Structure 1
Amino acid sequence: FKSCFLFECLLIQSLPNFTVKHSLKYFFTETPGAQSIPEYVVVAFVDEVPIGDFNSVRGADLKKDWIKFFEDHPQHLEWCILQSVDRHHFLKATIETLRQQLNQTEGVHILQKLDGCEWDDETGEINGFNQYGYDGEDFLALDLQTLTWITAKPQAAITKMKWDAQKVRVEENKKFFGDQCPEFLKEYLRYGRRFLQKTILPSVSLLQKTPFSPISCHATGFYPDRGLMFWRKDGEELHEGVDPGEILPNNDETFQMSIDLKLSSFTPEDWERYDCVFQLSAVKEHIVTKLDKTMIRTNWEKPADTVTFISAAVVVLTVTIITGVAFVAYKKKKGEKSQCGKY
């Protein structure tokens, strides 16, 4: 889905975070009537790393690192499946209610939900979150201090009044986000510490689309997703003339990111004063890549190649012209001889 509300964008981008906080997140999407995709999907994350998902077509699907945990703790898997099925029905019914309230009679609508908790393993601080988005926009968020719902838009006011009045559900939320979710998170961390704390450094390349495009410093294959990348000049971090990109997932569960440097801000003679720095959380050594013209990978022809191509074309054209002139002269001469014989 191209559109996303605020908390979804933050989840996808996974901005660099060098704190000691750990998180357990559940991300739900309900789209009744959608074609070629499951109408219901939920994905669970520990420290932004997916541990498994459940959808309305194929059921539960665990990541390989977590299969043994759920085999040894079948009650966890049973709880996850029951909760997933229950949320599926609840979200689907909520969409139908919202359609009636908002007079929406046609089209496919999307209801998204993000909930979970964060735990600081130094201070012991625990924070929970429970947020909803409808059709790509923030809709409602639960204030766990007051146990009341906060509206993000006027259209959510009716839903807020109904949900605030559901005292049993409010108490269930309080118990889950204050007790159950943190305990799950700690248990997952104890099991997954070996691979959750692994670090993989990336390969870093300098890329450029055209001679006038920005130079992109691109890092790929790193893990976890807590990376930081910036350009420097004379050892000082640059804040102008740079365009940082998002952290994006690769197919092998590693990540990639890039940051662009605009050429207009300096001359080629100053290139050696610039470098690109990549930092990975919990890794002391940084990867520093000097701005070197010879190391830039491009998909455009080098000037020398262009000159060679033009020179070759000129030679071919010259030979073609000479051959054509010679052929015309030959035909003319042959015609004169034929006419002489005729008379």
Structure 2
Amino acid sequence: MGLLDGRQIDYYNSKDQRLISKQKWMQENMPEDYWEIGTLSRKSKEQWFHKNIGILIEPMRRNESDLHVLQMITGCEVTQQGDKVKFSGGFREYGYDGKGFLSFDITSSRWLAPVYEALSTKREWDDMTAQNWKLKAYIEIVCVSLLEIFIEYADAELRNAWGVNVFVGL
């Protein structure tokens, strides 16, 4: 699901296989290609999850027949300066079965492993420098650009709720 300052703005599920708006202002203002590109992006993430759940099952010593939950959150934080926003922070974090597994350090473009079982994945992902730079650029540029668009179109209820910091999770 997509969140804007803690409010759900859209969602994607494997049944519908499309990005669906949860806000009237988005339905009315976002162009059709936003929904098409968003749907492709979420489908890609779904495929990635299916492909990579095995990476986590082995080091976490779990039985493949057990139910497991892999979560990912990506977000950016900005400060508003007049009618512009400025990047102030961002992240990507992975959780496995309700516990932190890996997080991206945007400053160094490297991965942090809060649990021993994540160290081999951390080392592998740290070596994917091109992917890490793309992720950093996505968080610092694309995510912030989306926030600017959302701020422009958001209804009065959301505008009145914003403080100094705004967060979008995609």
Q: 2:27 aligns with which of 61, 67, 72?
A: 67
Look up the SS of the partner of 1:101 in the other structure: coil
1:146 aligned partner: 108
Cα RMSD of the aligned pairs, angstroms, is 1.9
Q: Determine the C-alpha separation between the residues in 2 that align with 1:51 and 1:107.
A: 32
SS in 1 for 2:28: helix
CA distance in 1, matches of 2:162, 2:79: 18
In the other structure, the counterpart of 1:169 is 131
The CA deviation string for residues 270-294 of structure 1, in whole angstroms up to 9 with x for no partner, is xxxxxxxxxxxxxxxxxxxxxxxxx
Change (3 A) 1:64 1:150: closer
Q: Which residue of 1 aligns with 2:166?
A: none
- Matches of 2:39 and 2:90, distance apart in 1: 21
Amino acid at match of 2:67: V
Aligned counterparts, 1:104-143, within 5 A = 104-105=62-63, 106-122=65-81, 124-143=86-105
Give the deviation of 1:225 after TM superposition: 9.8
Q: Which residue does the alignment assign to 2:16?
A: 58
Cα distance in 2 for residues equivalent to 1:75 and 1:52: 15
Give 5+ residue unaligned stretches, structure 2: 164-170
What SS does the corresponding residue of 2:55 show, helix, strand or coil? helix
Task: Say whether residues 1:99 and 2:57 are aligned partners.
Answer: yes
Structure 1 residue 64: Cα displacement: 4.2
Distance 1:117 1:156 in 2: 24
Aligned partners of 2:105 and 2:111 also within 8 Å: yes
Q: Distance in 2 between matches of 1:56 and 1:136?
A: 20
Q: Normalising by structure 1, what TM-score?
A: 0.43
Aligned residue pairs, count? 157
Write the mapping of 1:260-275 to structure 2, written as runs, cut at 5 A. none
Runs of 4+ in structure 1 over 4 Å off: none
Q: Distance in 2 between matches of 1:134 and 1:190?
A: 35
Mapped contact 1:126–1:182 kept (Cα < 8 A)? no
- Matching residue of 2:6: 48
The equivalent position to 1:84 in structure 2, one of 14, 32, 42, is: 42
- 1:113 alignment partner AA: M
Q: Which has the larger radius of gyration?
A: 1
- CA–CA distance in structure 1, aligned partners of residues 88 and 112 of structure 2: 20
Unaligned regions of 5+ residues in structure 1, if any?
Answer: 1-42, 199-223, 227-343
SS of the equivalent of 1:124 reads strand
Instruction: State the distance in 1 between where 2:125 and 2:29 align.
Output: 35
Bigger relative contact order, structure 1 or 2, given CA contacts below 8 A and separation 6+? 2
The Cα of 1:168 is off from its aligned counterpart by 2.1
Pairing 1:1-343 to 2, within 5 Å after superposition: 43-59=1-17, 60-65=19-24, 66-70=26-30, 73-105=31-63, 106-122=65-81, 124-198=86-160, 224=161
Report the Cα distance in structure 2 between the residues aligned to 1:225 and 1:144, rounded to whole angstroms.
Answer: 24
Partner Cα separation in structure 1 for residue 90 and residue 2 of structure 2: 15
Task: Give the superposition deviation at 1:125.
Answer: 4.2
